[in-house]
Structure 1
Amino acid sequence: MSHILTLVAPAGGLAAATLARLRASLTALGADAGTPDWLAPEEAADIPFAGLSPEQAMAAATAALEGAPIDAIAIPAEGRRKRLLLADMDSTIVTSETLDELAAYAGLKEEIAAITRRSMNGELDFRQALVERVGMLKGLDVAALEETWAATEITPGAGALVATMRAHGAHCAIVSGGFTFFTGRVAERLGFHAHYSNTLGVADGKLTGRVEEPILDRDAKLATLKRLSAELGLPLSATLTVGDGANDLAMLGAAGLGVAFRAKPVVAAAARARVDHADLRALLFVQGYRASEIVAG
């Protein structure tokens, strides 16, 4: 079969009857649909198919699922496992927007979070919004950085995603419009090979309100993907990117597999692949990893 439709649900949320219904839907559209193959019992399964485009298969799945909390992603069967993972950090690898959480220590969380939401939905220029938000934090004691990090939570499945891809020879990196203070710690905790992000200005133990140049903006994410691919000798088809905000769209569109993870509306509407319900292990299942192959992270 030329393509694979992968279905992933929160644990226990995928039934054999659902797979049978989806297979029948593909067949009704003229596809040659194979027997479903469980990757993780009642959680993830593949349906191989031919005769439809990935977009047609996912549209059929969306209709057949009728709003059930199940993610459906269709990709070519060839080259399914990727050799480079490039991941956004905020609201992707970690559950929060670290700049918004940092702003809480200046009593500005709601004000700054409102700007963040508009920026991540593509309503504001990313660079200008970043500079504006950091400027509002001028004079904040650097101790707030440590307090913010102590409260930062890793997204479920992130550790397994990195550990499993590393174990199978993939290069894993973070690229973030956030800050090195956080990306460095996340990279160390989860085992990313590298991290790329912005640097907060600090003087005399306080934030200066400036973002040090060069600023990593939305264009830099795509540039990082292309640079790493070239350095590793990989075609873009062998890459996997994941993110949630408008500044991730370019790298999601350029990668062999670009996944919008619980994304902002503008990103969800534009992305070819979405994970709205499952955790980050869904990115492993889409690559064909079975539960027995997943490495705990």
Structure 2
Amino acid sequence: MLIATLIAADQLEKGELSSAADRLSDIGARISRIGDIVDGKAADIHFEGDLEKARQVLQVDGAMIDFVVQPASGREKKLLISDMDSTMITIECIDELAGYAGIKDQIAAVTERAMLGELDFEEALRGRVALLAGLEVSAIDQCLDEKVRVMPGAKTLVQTMAARGAETILVSGGFTRFADPVAKDIGFAKVAANILTEADGRLTGALNGTVVDAAHKAEMLRLSAQSAGLSLAECMAVGDGANDIPMIALAGMGVAYHAKPKAAAAADAAISHNDLTALLYIQGIASKDWVAG
């Protein structure tokens, strides 16, 4: 049995739900139930059929609706692992930090190419960090205060899943100086990120320890699931860039959130019109059961 979930950016109309059911029927899907519209914006269609064909037929150009198709079994996940920059927060920290050194545009151009998968992540990261050498460490606190903003729905997503017993992990190709306070603010139980080295109150332009890259993120998911006694099918991963693809591909529900094209293509679900609470609707959790972040 499969479930197609429709999540509208605003209001989900009955006609839109009926149209989606018709498109599924047109490819031979056998619909067993069409659920009620929940919270005015989300609904499920239960059916038997081909998962990939269903995903393709439901995508409608111009529709302000996110469509997610998945197996009905194991829908609610027991582990959430998430990227930070442009996923749990609205910015790319290294770009904004570079602004305090007067080189934001230079750094941001490299970041964009790295997130698109056009550059080797570690090489690009080390190169950008080197350009920050000499920047006062106090700029990090200033950046946290002035630039870092939590993504809409992030706290509700993480705190609701945690309250229902899920493991929650923030894993970032950014820096612990940002990830640690962000994780605490949002409610993540665990966090991993890169460590900037400092000397005499200034950044040295180097990193300490192993770089948290795409492979590290995927391995952290695998080991965290193993430690918790969970299968990968019981895990949800969310991110936006090429660096998140292995993690997204490994999880039972891999979500690309307002993502770059390569990440969206690799994901089980692409959320483009909603905030992070869409990940709760994906799991069949309506707002009456949310923990308000």
TM-score by length of 2: 0.97
- Matching of residue 96 in structure 1 with residue 96 in structure 2: no
Q: In the alignment, what sits opposite 1:120?
A: 115
Distance in 2, Cα, partners of 1:11 & 1:67 = 14
Greater Cα offset, 282-291 or 264-273: 264-273
Task: Tell me the residue number matched to 2:186.
Answer: 190
Q: Could you tell me how far apart the structure 1 residues matched to 2:184 and 2:140 are?
A: 17
1 CA distance for matches of 2:264 and 2:166? 26
Identity %: 45
CA contact (8 A) 2:33 2:47 kept: no
Partner of 2:85: helix, strand, or coil? Answer: helix
> Residue 39 of structure 2 contacts residue 286 of structure 2 at CA under 8 Å; is this kept in 1?
no
Please give the alpha-carbon distance, in whole angstroms, between the structure 1 residues aligned to 2:277 and 2:176: 25
Say whether residues 1:211 and 2:207 are aligned partners: yes
Are 1:173 and 1:192, in contact at CA under 8 Å, matched by a contact in 2? Answer: yes
Matched residue SS, 1:177: strand
Q: CA deviation at 1:35?
A: 3.5
SS in 1 for 2:110: helix
- Contact kept, 8 Å, 1:39 with 1:285, in 2: the verdict is no
Alignment of 1:72-151 (within 5 A): 72-150=67-145, 151=147
Q: Which amino acid aligns with 1:25?
A: R
Q: 1:281 aligns with which of 274, 277, 286?
A: 277
| AA of the residue aligned to 1:245 | G
Report if aligned partners of 2:233, 2:252 keep a CA contact under 8 Å in 1.
yes
Q: Structure 2: which 5+ runs fail to align?
A: none
CA distance 1:81–1:39, shift in 2 (3 Å): farther
Poorly superposed stretches of 4+, deviation over 2 Å: 38-42, 269-272
Quote the RMSD (CA, aligned, Å). Answer: 1.0
Deviates more, 1:265-274 or 1:157-166: 265-274
Q: What is the match of residue 163 of structure 2?
A: 167
Q: How many residues align?
A: 292
Instruction: Look up the equivalent residue of 2:171 and give its one-letter code.
Output: V
Instruction: For 1:222-241, list aligned pairs within 5 A.
Output: 222-241=218-237
CA distance in 2: counterparts of 1:271 and 1:240, whole angstroms:
11
- In the TM superposition, residue 190 of structure 1 has moved relative to its aligned partner by 1.1
Q: Does the 8 Å contact 2:248/2:266 carry over to 1?
A: no
Does residue 24 (structure 1) correspond to residue 19 (structure 2)? The answer is: no
8 Å Cα contact 1:39/1:289 also seen in 2: no
Measured in 1, the distance between the counterparts of 2:208 and 2:33 equals 54
**Residue in 2 aligned with 1:69?**
64
C-alpha distance in structure 2 between counterparts of 1:256 and 1:219, whole Å:
17
Q: Secondary structure at the match of 2:86?
A: helix
Q: For each residue in 1:77-126, what CA deviation from the matched residue of structure 2 results, as whole angstroms up to 9, or x when unmatched?
A: 00001100000000000010011000000011110000000001110000
Give SS of 2:100's match.
helix
| 1:10 matches 2:9 | yes
1:59 matches 2:64:
no
Per-residue deviation, 1:42: 2.6
- Counterpart Cα distance in 2 of 1:96 and 1:199: 19
Question: For residue 48 of structure 1, what is the amino acid of its counterpart?
Answer: H
Q: Could you tell me the TM-score, scaled by structure 1's length?
A: 0.96
How far does residue 39 in structure 1 lie from its aligned partner after superposition?
5.6
